[in-house]
Amino acid sequence: MAQINVSNLTFYYDGSFDNIFEKVSFSIDSNWKLGFIGRNGKGKTTFLNLLLGKYEYEGAITTSVTFDYFPYQISSTQAEACAVDFYEELKPGCEFWRVLCELDKLNADAEILYRPFTTLSHGERTKVMLAILFSGENEFLLIDEPTNHLDQNSREIVKQYLSGKQGFILVSHDRDLLDACIDHVLVLNRSTIEVQTGNFSCWWENKSRKDAFAEAENEKHKKEIVKLQKASDRLGRWAEKNESTKIGFDPIKEHDRFLNTRSYIGAKTKKMQSRVKQMEQRIEREIEEKEGLLQDIENPAVLKLNPLEHYKETLLTVKDYSIRYEDAQAPVFENLEFAIKQGDRLFLNGKNGCGKSSLIKAILCRLSENEGITMGRSNVGSTVPESGVSGGNPSESRETQNSVIETGTLTIAPNLVVSYINQDTSYLRGNIKDFCKEKGLDESLFCAILRQLDMERVQFAKNMEDFSEGQKKKVLIAASLMTPAHLYIWDEPLNYIDVFSRMQIEQLILTYHPTMLIVEHDVRFREAIATETVEFA
């Protein structure tokens, strides 16, 4: 067992307005299963790159272990080839038999190594890269969000696989995965960094208690400061009043007073002033003890949403509905049936490639055909006129412009307004101002929502292509929240979103009860807000 020691680490990007890390120090053991937790943009991926030696920094990182990183960067040439042809380029010295053994533990067939990498699903690519990653020896592995874009079955396989390993840092916002796989946590708090024993739930329980204690102590100090300030002010007034009686007196009214009483009054005033000074020192000590108590408390702002109420109870009906691509032999899915009524929060669940996103695209395409909406926008506000109500006769087929053949009925309520979040963020370019102008959003309100999602103001001056993936997702979520709609369609909205923001969004949905159609593989999120789940075969 070796240690990784971080001492007085300071790092910032060239041209950045702020430090990512400033005089950070901690130690971790190389046999730990370490979960890495923190807000989006706090520097989790940056820290992994510092361990890999990709950036220059101030301070010291000392260790005797070597590091390897997931996900591997796959070049365009490698993507067109089979993994069996380039796995040694990803991990020099890697032995093929070890890769096969790791694939078997991931319940994957070795034949995926002999297929072009681009033809593999997200889950298959993850399994190939994890098998290569864990095929070495005496390494400390850096695993960055391995379950993004994976379906529930693939997540379960990865969860079981990682729970049997040790000697890694796992960056993830999936609470279920963290609880199953880690025995220590490394937490980037708002102002400090801490290392604790236990999984996510243990850390969260400890944090909740610590935060409650800090808030109680803060209130106690505030009350003590107010009490001392009042007493100090009262004594100060008495001292001033007493001092004013030193010179001049009425011999008739104050017949028992003599000239030498002046020294007595002065001594008494000095004693009062000394007590005032002592109280001021106590106030300063109370303020010092109060400072820092709340520096790491996560107190998410309460988000707001303005869902519209439609005059029809049922907003969307799917009956005996099937989709097949023109050149495909089998349909993507068939005989699908469900209905979305106002207030429903319906989740689409199934393995990757089962047709969840295809269904969403078909719904948006139907809206687009009637209103000329551009597909792929981060936020769609649209209405469907009466002529776009039905998907046609169930016995008839309909071929779309995208060579997709639909059968069955897809019925959308007339004059429906939809707000849409795309799972893709790659098209986000330029600054916030240009984005708001393009989408017709109020810039000040948009920035206010981003601040409520804990995005720092300094980020607003940057181009969106320089944002972390989690920050890009927050841009799309903020745009959707600003759009009053009858139906919110969110396609994998929580990829890369930090744990605290996930809980914040959960609370928003449970408060405002919007009607939603969601694809999301976070089990805890689905359990918290779903009113119905449609399982794809």
DSSP state of 50: H
Local confidence pLDDT in tens for the 537 residues of the chain:
688 999 999 988 776 667 788 888 999 999 999 999 988 878 888 999 999 999 999 999 999 899 999 999 999 999 999 999 999 999 998 999 999 999 999 988 999 999 999 988 888 899 999 999 999 888 999 999 998 878 888 889 999 999 999 999 999 989 999 999 999 999 988 778 889 999 999 999 998 888 888 788 778 777 777 777 777 777 777 777 766 666 555 555 555 555 556 666 677 777 777 777 787 777 777 666 666 655 666 666 788 998 999 999 999 999 999 988 877 778 888 899 999 999 999 999 988 778 888 899 889 988 876 653 333 333 444 444 433 333 333 333 444 445 778 889 999 998 899 999 988 888 899 999 999 999 899 999 999 999 999 888 888 888 999 888 889 999 999 999 998 999 999 999 998 898 989 999 999 999 999 999 999 989 999 999 999 999 987
> Max alpha carbon distance in the chain (Å)?
118
Q: How far, in Å, CA of 168 to CA of 189, rounded?
A: 20
Q: How far, in Å, CA of 312 to CA of 425, rounded?
A: 33
Structure tokens at 459: 């980020």
Segment holding 528, helix H or strand E? helix 523-529
pLDDT of residue 298: 66
**Which amino acid makes up residue 175?**
R
pLDDT of residue 243: 65
SS (H, E, C) 474-507: HHHHHHHHCCCCCEEEEECCCCCCCHHHHHHHHH
Give the 3-state secondary structure of residue 463.
Answer: coil
Q: How far, in Å, CA of 173 to CA of 199, rounded?
A: 13
- Distances in Å between the alpha carbon of 422 and those of 181, 430, 436, 473, 505? 30, 18, 17, 9, 17
Segment holding 524, helix H or strand E? helix 523-529
Q: Assign residue 331 a region (left: φ > 0; alpha: ψ between -120 and 50; beta: otherwise).
A: beta
Segment holding 451, helix H or strand E? helix 443-452
Are 185 and 203 within 8 A, CB to CB?
yes
End-to-end CA, the chain: 46
Spell out the alpha helix ranges (H) of 34-192: 44-51, 76-80, 83-90, 96-105, 122-133, 152-163, 175-181
The distance from CA 80 to its chain's CA centroid, rounded to whole angstroms, is 33
pLDDT of residue 149: 79
The strand order across the sheet containing 21-29 reads 21-29, 3-11, 58-62
The distance from CA 189 to its chain's CA centroid, rounded to whole angstroms, is 14
pLDDT of residue 288: 67
- Percent helix, strand, coil in the chain, to 5, is 40, 20, 40
Structure tokens at 311: 């005059």
Residues present in the chain in total: 537
Q: How far, in Å, CA of 167 to CA of 310, rounded?
A: 54
Segment holding 460, helix H or strand E? none
Are 326 and 399 within 8 A, CB to CB?
yes
Q: How many CB atoms lie within 10 A of CB 527?
A: 12
Q: Which of 494, 479, 488 is nearest to 316 (CA)?
A: 488
Q: How far, in Å, CA of 407 to CA of 411, rounded?
A: 12
Residue with tokens 């999936």: 174
Does this model's pTM top 0.85? My answer is no
